[in-house]
Structure 1
């Protein structure tokens, strides 16, 4: 439940400015916190922080608990003596306004591993005890993640094993370790001990830098809104370590996969390929895996947005061998029971439910019964059937909001507001202008004003909208893979006093300035 009107900006840390090809937890992040403060904002919304997998998507991580090494700041490693100035010479010619993952990933992977190696060789200094404590306290996920990531790298060039019955998990691996047979686990743990130690140090460095940044943000009155995808990647440490919680057979084959039916984003639906949950097994363990997942995330952020919340009421179950999402079916999930158990164990849950897409009365009731705020995207309120005409009762229009709502001008999956408006039919554009009682010379900021002035408890604006950027600067296009996705970065000069003053004035007018404690 939202109790205080607040405003924030949506910007993933990879999109921060800086000299190392990708945003990180260094100076660019601290400058952004200061910018948020000048704007009168109190929320910084980010995407999942895990190590990315296929397509560089933060929603396809190889772990629900590990952090992305690409976000570790080389500048901080230099300050701590884990890198030398020479290590930062010969930097590739990185573009300034986008992430070129083909350049960044190999360069920064080598850099971070070099720092971790020095840490292990004796340069840890006063941090050795903290590292040992970290490994002990986080062993319940860290040990499996470190071994999984090391195995994944070891077998990456191996030809996949084939299966006639459905997709095999970890199909490039030897069968015994893919199925976690005890003797294989013991053997590979010894064989890859050096690699697993490197990966544990990298996670220690990641979380130390993140917690330092979060502490600084808290001092400025900035709270983080994190993100959890409801499903996990098939090639993840989660599936490997907790296979019994997913619909996977004894040989490691998916028996069903997740996605969504045809909708706004795709005529054939979205075939995500994630394994769906074995809710019966999760229930027998009183949802302990989900409790740990939510609890751990809430140690890193202040609020958590759960992507595809409707999957807790019913999920789209697609045959394992399907090539599109069309032939799936809805199957009920025990969402209310699970969240009641989470509340019993964790207390109040600062959760935002992503309730976009195909939403039924049952999903609405689940969210309302749990008192989770839902999401509203302004663009969707004006995307109506031209034959049927404008619908003033549309629940995405701000005059229909309740206060326990988070309103967005757009999300990471939407076009920018400028790009969206330019792509709309002229009749829709006319309705937008009439609704706002404005012309369209400053249409993006008109949408920002509409969000901030609404009755929604939280109002969040993607950073690209502050600059009125077009379609080419959107963060992601669903159901596509390519170098344009997840690549947006802002430039240092974008954090301008003009923008911060304009936002602060709006936040003041609409009662969204942070309430400072006396």
Structure 2
């Protein structure tokens, strides 16, 4: 069965909520998120794609999170809490104080809620705690203990807590009752604000397109609570870690450092861990992208002591068995897959056997000949075409950095367009036979150097990009609506 999002030609915009205007430090789920949904609808788009919504480590990477199931409390809109009567006011602060300020305001809202919430709101909170207990209780304790130990990772905690000895866990829960209640409230507020925003989007025929990393962070509640599913030693340290070999982005490859899965144990219990994970994602999104799909066919396994990803090896994974179990459980799989990098016929076979659309990146299309699979004349209907992704530079910056002869090749292929970049690329994506076209917000704003979201293989200066409404050209909405209509999207 084809997911509903792929039943007709569509177009969408890639923008993480943290890149929205408004909010202190990062964008949030407040008024600008609703304005962005309205902008999409008025422009003719029907999909909003974003990055993972999970709480991040200090580096801010959505792909390196503290929990697979929790939402990032830093995306909570304080203005919405004021509107709901749970927060008296929301004073502006500088970016350097934004994180502490937002969490302190949510804590104040929790105190107000505890004293003055309506019976209906109290019942909603209690129902949320019961419904999400399978992950929420462990996450609340993990967050509190992490704070108690000054941000140390779980494998650095005292051994009884590191190894989850029952008496140590019970004592911690008894000691931190109020602190755990605060974490539960943060997650309740995030869920309320997210579902309200999703309803606003769906009412305007905007589908929400999420993103799921294949791997999880070593320092996460998921690894702490379910060590049996990961290749760890007795001290909780990985014996091997994930990454990718040398490629387009890095001569040394990328050593991500995530622990690798103990696939035999996951398969032995019917992949229950993955079913739980996708259950959470499908509650939030209408469509989900799986990052690094090729890892379900084979993973690049790097010995944990290696400093780079060069000396790794490919190790087979039970992808077919996994997706068969997911298909049986969910029936329809509203998934698209990131099938970039060193892709083998076996990866294509796994993707196609379950009818999963892959990705076509136009910025990758012009570094070889006419058989390049990313060139528009090579596209498949069952695919998602992008001008670029969050891992690419903006299209304008990419084009300006090309050698003159390569620029000429791009321009000649596109028919010597009169429009300035990136608009010819936007048109090529919209004209593609790919059923879904996704355009990064940076390209719609025709932004150049300095507006990149992420540079793979680096840890500094990423995930901070934000736009302003003043960057939108006065005729942008009308221009986009005409283009989307012209190309049947």
**TM-score class, shorter:** over 0.9
CA contact (8 A) 1:260 1:325 kept: yes
- 2: distance between equivalents of 1:508 and 1:441? 18
Q: Aligned to 1:286, what secondary structure does the other structure show?
A: coil
Unpaired segments ≥5 residues, structure 2:
none
SS of 2:455's equivalent in the other structure is: coil
Question: Quick one: distance in 1 between partners of 2:244 and 2:346?
Answer: 17
Which of 457, 464, 470 is the matching residue for 1:479?
457
1:480 CA displacement: 1.2
1:112-511 superposed matches below 5 A? 112-123=106-117, 126-156=120-150, 170-384=154-368, 391-439=369-417, 442-482=420-460, 484-511=461-488
- Note if contact 2:51-2:210 (Cα within 8 Å) is conserved in structure 1: yes
Q: Secondary structure at the match of 1:257?
A: strand
Question: Is the contact made by 1:119 and 1:201 (CA closer than 8 Å) also made in structure 2?
Answer: no
- Secondary structure of 2:215's counterpart equals coil
Distance 1:51 1:485 in 2: 16
For these two proteins, the number of residue pairs brought into alignment is: 485
Counterpart of 2:270 in 1: which secondary structure? coil
Contact 2:238–2:259, Cα closer than 8 Å, also in 1: yes
Cα deviation, residue 321, structure 1: 1.2
Aligned match for 1:36, one of 35, 40, 49: 40
- Check whether the contact 1:256–1:317 (CA below 8 A) recurs between aligned residues: yes
SS of match in other structure, 2:264: helix
Q: Is the 8 A contact 1:13 1:25 kept in 2?
A: yes
TM-score of the superposed pair, with normalisation by structure 2: 0.97
CA distance in structure 2 between the aligned counterparts of 1:314 and 1:431, rounded to whole angstroms: 35
Q: Please state how far the C-alpha of 1:495 moved relative to its aligned partner.
A: 4.6
Q: Secondary structure at the match of 1:503?
A: helix
Task: Report the Cα distance in structure 2 between the residues aligned to 1:292 and 1:255, rounded to whole angstroms.
Answer: 26
State the alpha-carbon separation in 2 of the partners of residues 440 and 470 from structure 1. Answer: 19
- SS of alignment partner, residue 56 of structure 1: coil
How far did 1:497 drift? 4.8
TM-score w.r.t. length of structure 1: 0.91
Preserved CA contact (<8 Å) 1:78 1:84: yes
Alpha-carbon distance in structure 2 between the residues aligned to 1:445 and 1:322: 43
Q: Deviations over 1:42-98 (max 9, x none)?
A: 00001000001141001111000000011111111001121112xx23x2244xxxx
Output the CA distance in 2 between the equivalents of 1:440 and 1:409: 18
Using a 3 Å threshold, how does the CA distance of structure 1 residues 345 and 331 change in structure 2: closer, same or farther?
same
CA RMSD, aligned part only?
1.4
Contact 2:445 2:473 in 1 (8 A): no
Equivalence for 2:87: 83
| Distance in structure 2 (CA, Å) of the matches to 1:157 and 1:394 | 46
Q: Structure 1 494/126 Cα, relative in aligned 2: closer, same or farther at 3 Å? A: farther
SS in 2 for 1:473: coil
Task: Tell me which residue corresponds to 1:20.
Answer: 24
Q: Is the 8 A contact 2:270 2:325 kept in 1?
A: yes
Counterpart-to-counterpart distance in 2, 1:467 and 1:122: 44
Please give the alpha-carbon distance, in whole angstroms, between the structure 1 residues aligned to 2:155 and 2:293: 30
The answer to whether the Cα contact below 8 Å between 1:35 and 1:495 also exists between their aligned partners in 2 is no
Structure 1 unpaired stretches of 5+: 95-101, 159-168, 385-390, 513-518
Question: Which residue does the alignment assign to 1:92?
Answer: 93
Q: CA deviation at 1:19?
A: 4.5
Per-residue deviation, 1:250: 2.9
Partner SS for 1:218: helix
